[in-house]
Amino acid sequence: MDEVDEHVTVTGESVIVRPVEELYIIRRIIARIMVPLTQLYGLYVIMHGEGGPGGGFQGGVILGSATILYVLVFGVDEAKKRISESLNNLMKSTGVLIYAGIGLLCIIFGGYYLEYYALPLGHPEKASELGILGVEIGIGITVSAVMISIFFDLAERFEK
Amino acid sequence: MITEHFPILLIVVPLTSALSTPLIGTLNKKYCWYTAIFSISLSLFMSLYILNAVMHTGRISYWLGNWEPPYGIEYAIDYLNSYVLVIVTFIALAVTIYSKWSVEKELPEKTVLFYTVYLLLITGLLGITITGDIFNLYVFLEITSLSAYTLVAIGKKRNALVASYNYAILGTISATFILIAIGYLYMVTGTLNMADLSTKLPPLYDSKVVLTALAFFMAGFSIKVALFPLHVWLPDAYTHAPSVVSAILAATSTKVAAYAMIRVMFTVFSPEFIIVRVNITHILSWIAAFAIIVGSVLAIAQVDIKKMLAYSSVAQIGYIMLGIGLSTKLSVTGGILHILNHALMKATLFLVAGAVIYKTGIRNIEEYRGLRREMPLTMLAFTIAALSMIGVPGTVGFVSKWYLLLGALHEGKWVFALVLILSSLLMLVYFWRVIENIYFPKMHVAVAMDGGDKKKELPYTMLVPILILALLCIALGILAFIPLKIVGMISQMLVG
Amino acid sequence: MIEFILGKYNYWIYIILMMIGFYAMIAKNNLVKKIIGMNIFQTAVFLFYISIGDVKGGTAPIVWEGMEKVIYVNPVPHVLILTAIVVAVSTTAVTLAVVIRIYEEFGTIEEDRILEALED
């Protein structure tokens, strides 16, 4: 149960300040249900990109929008406790480095750039599937990090 | 061997260093500059190796993912490609060495972000040059343009933001026109590979779709190349950007867009189509003549040195387009040689203008009086580059103008020869104003400098690139057979 | 004549939408309206690409196991448009960031007032 603070304001009145967790009950509960489901849906779209509509960019945008929903309901400071700025910067670079890294890995194993058939993962088609999946995951990480970062910058600017 | 993967490594190395720069920058801000120098030097080495290989064995083709074209993306390098690659990487290295102190003074808190976007710009420029797939060209063109909009908007004054916005709107219109043209070509042939398009298009030369595609291509590329009258974004964008950004954009981005235009016009649509059937080169040469005259006249009217150099760029692009428009072997040689020359000369001039702003904050031509005493070597470099732009024999500018003049006179088109001579005189007018102020000031005005030292030159990392570029202006003018060997082969391949 | 208008309705829609967007980019005074026009302009081009990839009687290009002899729609334009959409989103993001900075500097986003403020 959250504590209730009792403050004395400048004019001398006594005011009860409720912490933000007690306000907006409907929004909070629905956000608590929707955010994990949206993230799950985003991961589903990334993973099934090769067999159906979907892929890295679409799934990354959906993942980013889950965090944007969190920011809209709970505020920027709360969201920054979950995903800090430095983690965001790390995610932005990591995604593209995964993409370039898989391509260079194919060169190291003797093929051309992004020639998934050269990867030593058994069956050539299996290697192709896993290679494409790895590339899509990299794209998804970068896109979601960029969406979150853009939203953080805009939201902070107008709160001042 | 690793050397056969150099075409793709030329893209991957700047791209990964662009995205590792934020991570490196959190350790220490100074490491960003070392990262940029390292990756661009590696790119210069790879592009020189590729040039050597192409001179020996002919066309190099690299299949991405080992998928055979036209199903996969192909990187095709021939003489024109490797020539432009070496120019871009060399100028980028010179500007990056120069940028250390200039960026620290002008943008102290945005250094890490500056180098990130700068390396992305270099990636895009190299990608446009090296690709053989026409949709890949559009993607890299947009990467370049987006980086350029961001870099222009970092400038200090408020005008930079409005200039960047105008540049963004016009640049997006041009890129979308190019996208429409690619769609039309894909609709009638079903392929996106440039070499494959050149074999599939000739039976379709009578259809209106191909004609519309050519029209959209010309409109889109003309905005990117800043050909008069679609040049309106260029003066504001180059004037209000930071000095390093003006130098790299003026020296490379319009040239690479001109390369893309040449590639689409001569490789995708064959010379028979554009010269004999549609004769668009005739219209192009007249527009280029107007661009030369208008650019030079407007440059005379400016008092801000960067705006004067920007309008001079508009005129110089006219030279390249005039060379392409006349379409004989001599004039194409002159035009393509002018790509190299203008990159060298304009880079020197913009770097000197940036150096003067770094040391003294002077942007007005009138206040250049007596700078000979304070910065002698820098002013010498400026004078060499200015003489080269005018076309004094013994410098690079003279060689390309000579070829253009020969090409115009051989065809009997004396109007264009007259335009060339007139523009040289106009250039003499506006450069002589600056040189006169530097070397023969009417009244000796004490120039206010920070620290009050009398004869303090620039730091070495800023001075050495300027001097090397100025030295190359003279060296390649005297030893002109070195670039002419490559350019001769290029023009033989294009219109021979 | 009827065949010319009704048979090629996809091209007519794309051209009209493109011209609406283009007009908004040029003629509107507000900077954000210009960006909206740019988005309409680019979306029209995407519609054009996808409409030329349509095959008569074709279905979505997803391979189902065990079913041969199915006519698929051409999937290549879809892939090209995915890339072009990403480019359009990035361009919108960059231009909107520039507009936010312009608003903080000038206090207005009407183009004629900004040009007046610059001349002083």
- What value does the mean pLDDT of chain A take? 84
pLDDT of residue B435: 85
Which residue would you say has higher pLDDT here, B12 or C7? B12
Touching chains, B (3+ CB pairs < 8 A)? A, C
Query: CB–CB of C98 and B159 under 8 A?
Result: no
Query: CB–CB of C82 and A150 under 8 A?
Result: no
User: Is the Cα torsion angle B485, B486, B490, B491 positive or negative in sign?
Assistant: negative
Query: CB–CB of B146 and C91 under 8 A?
Result: yes
Query: CB–CB of B26 and A86 under 8 A?
Result: yes
Distance CA B12, CA B39 (A): 10
Residues of chain B with pLDDT under 70: 442-456
Q: Which residue is closest to C85 within chain B, CA to CA?
A: B139
Query: CB–CB of B183 and C83 under 8 A?
Result: no
Contact pairs from chain A to chain B, CB under 8 Å? 44
pLDDT of residue B2: 78
Exposure string of A141-150, with b = 16+ CB inside 10 Å and e = fewer, is: bbbbbbbbbe
List of residues 6+ apart from C120 with CB closer than 8 A: none
Q: Which residue is closest to A55 within chain C, CA to CA?
A: C82
Query: CB–CB of B183 and C38 under 8 A?
Result: no
Query: CB–CB of C90 and B146 under 8 A?
Result: yes
pLDDT at C8 over 80: yes
Q: Convert B239-256 into a string of H (helix), E (strand) and C (coil).
A: HHCCHHHHHHHHHHHHHH
Contact pairs from chain B to chain C, CB under 8 Å? 66
- Domain boundaries of chain A, sorted by first residue: 24-159
Give contacts of A51 with chain C, Cβ < 8 Å.
Answer: 62
pLDDT of residue B119: 95
Structural domain that includes position C33: 2-119
In terms of Cα–Cα distance, which of B139, B157, B171, B124 is closest to B14? B124
Name the token pair of B493: 């391949």
pLDDT of residue A17: 64
Query: Across the interface, which of C60, C86, C100 has its CB nearest the CB of A57?
Result: C86
- When mean pLDDT is compared over A11-15, A52-56, B372-376, the highest value belongs to A52-56
Query: CB–CB of C62 and A53 under 8 A?
Result: yes
Query: CB–CB of C45 and B187 under 8 A?
Result: no
Query: CB–CB of C87 and B165 under 8 A?
Result: no
Give contacts of C50 with chain A, Cβ < 8 Å.
Answer: none
pLDDT of residue B39: 95
Domain count across chain C? 1
- Interchain CB contact of B302 with C (< 8 Å): no
Q: Which residue is closest to C103 within chain B, CA to CA?
A: B161
Name the token pair of B428: 């003499």
Per-residue confidence band for A3, with pLDDT thresholds at 50, 70 and 90: low
Per-residue confidence band for A1, with pLDDT thresholds at 50, 70 and 90: very low
- Domain boundaries of chain B, sorted by first residue: 279-496
Residue-wise pLDDT for B305-360, tens only, equals 999 999 999 999 999 999 998 888 889 999 999 999 999 999 999 999 998 888 88
Question: Which residue bears the tokens 């997803």?
Answer: C62
CA distance B212 to chain C (A): 14
pLDDT of residue B452: 45
Query: CB–CB of A55 and C62 under 8 A?
Result: no
> How many Cα atoms are found within 13 Å in the side-chain-facing hemisphere of B291?
30
Query: Across the interface, which of B139, B162, B186 has its CB nearest the CB of C102?
Result: B162
Query: CB–CB of C105 and B150 under 8 A?
Result: no
Name the token pair of B10: 């030329």
User: Is the Cα torsion angle B140, B141, B145, B151 positive or negative in sign?
Assistant: positive
Give contacts of C106 with chain B, Cβ < 8 Å.
Answer: 158
For helices C111-119 and B159-189, the axis angle rounded to 10 degrees is 130
The interface residues of chain C toward chain B in range 85-104, judged by CB-CB distance below 8 A, are: 87, 90-91, 94-95, 98-99, 101-102
- Interchain CB contact of C49 with B (< 8 Å): yes
Helix (H, G, I), strand (E, B) or coil at C68: coil
For helices B6-27 and B111-130, the axis angle rounded to 10 degrees is 170
pLDDT at A151 over 50: yes
CATH code for the domain of C115: 1.10.287.3510
Per-residue confidence band for A18, with pLDDT thresholds at 50, 70 and 90: low
Residue-wise pLDDT for C70-99, tens only, equals 888 888 898 899 999 999 999 999 999 999
Distance CA C44, CA C14 (A): 5
- Give the DSSP letter string of B180-249: HHHHHHHHHH---BHHHHHHHSGGGTTSHHHHHHHHHHHHHHHHHHT-TTS-TTHHHHHHHS-HHHHHHI
Biggest CA-to-CA distance, chain B: 72
Query: Across the interface, which of B12, B22, B66 has its CB nearest the CB of A115?
Result: B66
Distance CA B99, CA B118 (A): 11
Per-residue confidence band for C59, with pLDDT thresholds at 50, 70 and 90: confident
